[in-house]
Amino acid sequence: MNDPHVESLTYRLRETDSLAFEAPPIEFETAAFRARLADNVLTLRPKEHFASEEDVRAIADEFVRAWEIDAGLGYGRPDFRFQYDGAQLVDRAPSPGHHMIASKGVLHLSGSAHLKVTRAKYPIPSEQFVATPEVQVLWERYSRYLAGKEPLLAMAYFGLTLLERGDRRRAARDFRIDVEVLRKLGELTSTRGDGLTARKMSTGVVPLTGPESQWVEATIKAIIRHIATLNSGASLSLADLPPLP
């Protein structure tokens, strides 16, 4: 190509055993793309010129990942997930007598589906939701917990230490999280559990109650969303979380 230009990037919603969509198309714009999601196919058209797929792919992947996590928090499951399907490039200065469009695709294999929740609307992405490195790590660990691959307390304690890095008050200040939220999360993840779930065994460890389990899970979800939307200026306090007996 004499003057290649990325016309569009395509992503497809992955098939899952628990989520399906029979939804009308949605169209929207971000700072970087004009977008359309229809029949589970997402098309992103860059607003600026990109000469190669690699130049724009990182920006697109970052947007898509944030959308996946945002929707996953809303659904309570990591089932809203896209798979990259390729790019379409055009030549903005073709040689005389030539007009070239190049498509680069990815082969996908899909399995059979079982019982699903079918939704009539696609989730709307928010540009205020940013998938920072902390958000992505916390979401991956939370997803592992949901899949039964990690105990609740181990996942939550990891998230707490990721934020605090040895300094609870600094973390509270930097992430605008009430220090009492971090203190309570630290208390529960350090003093609750049993032989299979406790982070560490001691004579003072007791099993989590049902409300405590619900509080820990809700708090991790709230922290993920809060950090992803930190630029909004909001703070996270105990009043934003479920009450504990």
Among 95, 119, 143, which residue terminates a domain? 119
The reported pLDDT for the residue numbered 231 is 93
| Strand 4-13 relative to strand 41-46, pairing | antiparallel
Alpha helices in the chain (DSSP H): 53-75, 133-146, 152-164, 168-175, 179-191, 210-228
Among 86, 119, 152, which residue terminates a domain? 119
Tens digits of per-residue pLDDT, 134-193?
Answer: 999 999 999 999 999 999 999 999 999 999 999 999 999 999 999 999 999 999 998 887
CA 2 – CA 52 distance, rounded (Å): 12
Q: Which residues pair with 46 in a beta bridge?
A: 33
51 — pLDDT class (breaks 50, 70, 90): very high
Q: Is the pLDDT of residue 109 over 50?
A: no
110 in any annotated domain: yes
Provide the residue type at 235 as one letter.
S
Domain of residue 22: give its range: 4-119
> 13-35 burial by CB neighbour count: b if 16+ within 10 A, else e?
bebbeebbbebeeeeeebebbeb
232 in any annotated domain: yes
Residue 188 DSSP SS3: helix
Q: What is the CA radius of gyration of the chain?
A: 22
| Residues 148 and 91 occupy one common structural domain | no
Give the number of domains in the chain: 2
> How many of the other CB atoms lie within 10 Å of CB of 223?
26
Average pLDDT, the chain: 89
The reported pLDDT for the residue numbered 108 is 47
Long-range contacts of 199-204 (CB under 8 A, 24+ apart): 199/153, 199/154, 199/157
> How many of the other CB atoms lie within 10 Å of CB of 127?
13
Residue 86 DSSP SS3: strand
The reported pLDDT for the residue numbered 193 is 72
| Residues 101 and 165 occupy one common structural domain | no
229 in any annotated domain: yes
Query: Who wins on pLDDT, 117 or 43?
Result: 43
| Residues 111 and 140 occupy one common structural domain | no
29 neighbors 43 (Cβ within 8 angstroms): no
Reported as half-sphere exposure (CB side, CA atoms, 13 A), residue 51 has a value of 4
Using alpha carbons, select from 126, 45, 122 the residue that is nearest to residue 88.
45
146 in any annotated domain: yes
Provide the residue type at 93 as one letter.
A
Query: Who wins on pLDDT, 218 or 200?
Result: 218
CA 188 – CA 205 distance, rounded (Å): 10
DSSP string, 104-124: EE---------S-EEESSPPP
Which of 95-104, 181-190, 204-213 is least confident?
95-104
Query: Who wins on pLDDT, 188 or 104?
Result: 188
| Residues 160 and 234 occupy one common structural domain | yes
| Residues 93 and 49 occupy one common structural domain | yes
The reported pLDDT for the residue numbered 18 is 84
Q: Is the pLDDT of residue 57 over 70?
A: yes
> How many of the other CB atoms lie within 10 Å of CB of 189?
24
Integer CA distances (angstroms), 186 to 128, 190, 223, in order: 28, 6, 14
Q: Is the pLDDT of residue 95 over 70?
A: no
The reported pLDDT for the residue numbered 200 is 62
| Residues 106 and 21 occupy one common structural domain | yes
Please state the rounded mean pLDDT for residues 190-199: 71
Q: How much is the pTM?
A: 0.86
The reported pLDDT for the residue numbered 149 is 95
